[in-house]
Copies of this chain bind each other. A is one copy, B any other.
Amino acid sequence: MLHRLSIQNRSPRELRQLASERRGLASSKEGRLKALLIMEAELLEFHAGMRIWLEHTAPLDPGDLQVVQEQTQATAQLSLARLFLAALSRRMALPAADQHALLSVAQLRHFAKGETIVDEGEQAGSFHMLCHGAARATRTLENGSQQIVSVFLPGDTLNPGDLILGRSRIAISAFMPALVLSVSAAELRLFMEQRPALTRALWRETAFQAAIQREWLTGVGRKTAESRLAHFLCEVACRMQIGEQECNALELPLTQRDLADILGLSCVHVNRVLQHLRSRKLVDLSKGQLIIWNREELYEVAEFDPEYLGFSDAAQRADRGAS
């Protein structure tokens, strides 16, 4: 596999060079090999974008995000760069200086679909942020059944709580091919001493995920299967579209088995409920594509309040109040 390239010692220009070589190679190949090469190219370009962004944000603050976007747009890696920026600036709301510090010691790693990122019961050796793809946190019982307790989308942190609790009994793995920024826990702890905003950001992440879990808990405990499923789809749609215009279709390669583990149902039943929602023309999820036909009515059956995820504003206000 290609998880580790000697990326650290190369200039952004070199990285771009390597990436375009891969792309050239890819066009002459087929199937899995082609996919692998393209993936590798993306990773290289992503890393190059990150380097450039790092160089450009060293002293400045917010204005140059614009610059960076144009810069990377010019070099044709708009989408990855945008996700990358989203990853660090969305909910954590870190000052640019702190983002820079964090990134300077972060490792970018790629995980294949299904690969595990953090093992169950592992001592928290490092802290992870998801830049691209999707991941899940799973708790497995002795009887073999499992429950997904969190779903992570680009911009989420994977294990903020483990940093302070030491260990946890959940495993984290990639749903779809994922790009993950990792920082060693030791280094992070050093940073936290000098940068209180970083501690607050991680705390906020922990609280944010706890809030979602509470919502899931009441869903699993008290709502009907249809309502739960609808709610989950609403939630994911909202979380993926922060800062973007509302779009009614998005990529979501979740298997029905995954949905079952998220919602605490059997996959057979997920299928039936999904079909029912389809037949009611509310939403469709097939071939890894989520399409929302009737947002209002969907919110209705889900008892979904789009504002419940809208912490970010309130949180940023609270945080500004603190500093």
Contact = CB atoms under 8 A, between A and B. Distances in A.
Contacts of A147: 217-218, 221-222
Contacts of A214: 137, 139, 149-150, 170, 213
Interface in A48-100: none
A146 to B, nearest CB: 7
Nearest to A203: B203
Interface in A158-192: 160-170, 186, 189, 192
A264 B222 CA distance: 6
A297 interface: no
A317 interface: yes
Given A192-B322, A193-B196, A264 B211 contact: no
Contacts of A160: 207
A165 B314 CA distance: 7
Contact of A189 (B203, B218, B308, B321): B321
Contacts of A162: 207
A99 B142 CA distance: 41
A206 interface: yes
Contact of A166 (B142, B186, B199, B314): B314
A190 to B, nearest CB: 9
Contact of A203 (B164, B209, B308): B164
Given A165-B318, A220-B264, 12 more contacts: A139-B218, A141-B218, A145-B222, A162-B207, A164-B207, A167-B314, A168-B211, A170-B214, A196-B196, A213-B217, A217-B217, A221-B264
Interface of A: 124, 137, 139, 141-142, 145-147, 149-150, 160-170, 186, 189, 192-193, 196, 199-200, 202-204, 206-211, 213-218, 220-223, 263-264, 303, 305, 308, 311, 314-315, 317-319, 321-323
